[in-house]
């Protein structure tokens, strides 16, 4: 995609200038990298298939590390998606397992803020086990380059009074982490994703792709840390 290069340049030129997406104080808050690949042998099928056990696993890891958030997942080939048929291919071919965003794991109802000025492109509710639950997509302009940010696994209240075209200013709290009943039956977290082009999607956009299609999807789904700027604190 030829239009992605100017966008990458714009994001790089503004790196470190974006508002935080979640409340985070680098001077006092700890981050814990979380691994959801096959290399994490502690994350058993028993845990993945029981939401209470999965939530307890996340909470225990955060507590043991003294961390406010767990973070990671961009371009990660994950085993956790075996917990839901949402990520299976209907034809029985290769399932989707490659993660296209960054996950920030934390407490339910954690505030979610806009990293820069934008407008509500669309929003939706996808309650199937493993899906986004409540999701919001914002559209942005930066140095005359357009792009989109996606916020998945939100609370139902996050989309209650929302409307397309609604202006969201940088730093505005416009959503919050959902509880499992709202967020697709996941431990509370935010799926944050950056797309150069919505490619015709509205109220939804894939957050996971087949590994064999990795290059195609990553070309449009830019590293979220270009905006989050959090990995430097791991």
Q: Are 133 and 154 in contact (CB under 8 A)?
A: yes
Is 69 domain-assigned? yes
Residue 24 lies in a domain: no
Model pLDDT, residue 88: 63
| Integer angstrom CA distances of residue 94 from 124, 132, 134 | 26, 21, 26
Residue 84 has pLDDT above 60, yes or no: no
State how far the Cα of 80 lies from the Cα of 51, in Å rounded to an integer: 12
Question: Are 153 and 58 contacting, i.e. CB atoms less than 8 angstroms apart?
Answer: no
97 pLDDT tier (thresholds 50, 70, 90): confident
Residue 27 in any domain: the answer is no
Euclidean distance between CA atoms 204 and 132, whole angstroms = 8
Confidence at 83, pLDDT banded by 50, 70, 90: low
Instruction: Let me know if residue 90 belongs to a domain.
Output: yes
Q: What is the CATH number of the domain that holds 86?
A: 2.70.70.10
At 25-52, the pLDDT tens digits run 999 999 999 999 888 889 888 888 888 9
Task: Note whether residue 221 is domain-resident.
Answer: no
26 in a domain, yes or no? no
Specify if 231 maps to a domain. no
Q: Please give the pLDDT value at position 85.
A: 61
Domains held by the chain: number: 1
Does residue 86 surpass a pLDDT of 80?
Answer: no
Q: What is the pLDDT of residues 134-167, one digit of tens each?
A: 999 999 999 999 999 999 999 999 999 999 999 9
Q: Is the dihedral of CA 165, 149, 197, 179 positive or negative?
A: negative
Confidence at 90, pLDDT banded by 50, 70, 90: low
Residue 166 or residue 212, greater confidence: 166
Q: What span, in angstroms and rounded, lies between the C-alpha atoms of 97 and 118?
A: 30
**Residue 57, domain extent:** 4-19+37-213
State the average pLDDT for the chain: 92
């Amino acid at each position: 995609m030829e239009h992605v290069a100017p966008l990458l340049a714009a994001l790089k030129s503004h790196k470190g200038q974006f508002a935080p997406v979640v409340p985070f104080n680098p001077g006092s808050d700890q981050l814990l990298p979380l691994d959801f690949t096959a290399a994490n042998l502690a994350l058993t099928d028993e845990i993945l298939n029981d939401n209470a056990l999965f939530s307890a696993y996340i909470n225990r890891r955060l507590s043991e590390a003294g961390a406010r958030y767990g973070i990671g997942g961009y371009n990660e080939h994950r085993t956790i998606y075996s917990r839901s048929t949402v990520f299976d291919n209907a034809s029985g071919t290769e399932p989707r397992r490659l993660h296209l965003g960054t996950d920030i794991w934390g407490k339910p109802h954690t505030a979610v803020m806009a990293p820069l000025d934008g407008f509500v492109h669309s929003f939706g509710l996808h309650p199937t086990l493993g899906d986004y639950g409540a999701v919001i997509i914002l559209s942005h302009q930066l140095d005359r380059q357009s792009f989109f940010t996606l916020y998945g696994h939100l609370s139902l209240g996050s989309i209650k009074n929302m409307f397309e075209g609604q202006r969201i200013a940088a730093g505005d709290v416009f959503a919050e982490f959902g509880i499992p009943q709202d967020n697709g039956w996941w431990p509370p977290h935010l799926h944050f994703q950056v797309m150069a082009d919505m490619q015709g999607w509205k109220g939804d956009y894939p957050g996971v792709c087949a590994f064999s299609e990795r290059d195609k999807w990553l070309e449009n789904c830019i590293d979220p840390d270009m905006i989050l700027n959090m990995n430097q604190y791991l």
